[in-house]
Amino acid sequence: MKHTQAVFFDLDGTLVDTAPDLGYALNLQLARHGKPTLTDDVIRPYASHGSRGLLALGFGISPDDAQFIDMRDEYLELYNQVFTRQPRLFNGMEQVLIGLANQQVPWGIVTNKPRRFTQPLVMSMGLSKRAACVISGDDAPQPKPSPATLLMACAQTGVEPEHCIYVGDAERDIQAGKAAGMHTLVALFGYLDVNDTPDTWGADGMIHQPGDLLALLLAR
């Protein structure tokens, strides 16, 4: 990963820990429907899978079910009320962002999260002015695993894909990064569940904590 000129992060489960708020919204919905709420430890592994994964966990429904769209819309309405309650950078990530700035390596966010949530969340954390780009899932015709949003990030930062690193905690992140021609890293500190097999995703490496990324860049 020598000659890295830009680093892009997935948002949920990689750059920012949003699981508490995603889970809070799910528990509000479960309570509304008279179902028992779930603990953070149970919800966390599903947090990167968005409303689809959370509804499957909480209600056992999939997009094929007739009630899915109504339940998804209800969940998103509840999440819209709470999504800026307590998002936080993962431990050590602030030091990584400072380190990237010190090395004059721009960083950005490329997420499948819809812009109506991404932009206010990033602004609430004071990250919007620090990031070289913020690309949401609905900014392109296809979200990840399509490389479209990652290529948009390259265009906005003026860096060719082969000089970029993409860090994510889901297989679709690695698929998108590889398809875009970037180097890829799996964030093992993210929202992986017991069924995930990151060693089979074909990433260029895996990091156990945010600081590992800075160590890789410093060693280049």
Over residues 125-167, the pLDDT tens digits come to: 999 999 999 999 999 999 999 999 999 999 999 999 999 999 9
pTM exceeds 0.85 for this model? yes
Residues involved in catalysis? 10, 12
**CA-to-CA separations, 75 to 55, 144, 192, 194, 197, in angstroms, rounded:** 8, 22, 22, 25, 28
User: For residue 217, what pLDDT band results from cuts at 50, 70 and 90?
Assistant: confident
* Mean pLDDT, the chain, whole residue set: 96
The fold of 6-17+87-218 is Rossmann fold (3.40.50)
Angle at the Cα of 177 (from 174 to 180), degrees rounded to 5? 150
Over residues 49-68, the pLDDT tens digits come to: 889 999 999 999 999 999 99
**pLDDT for the residue 2:** 60
**pLDDT for the residue 49:** 87
> Is pLDDT of 48 > 90?
no
> Residue 82 corresponds to which tokens in the numbers above?
């709470």
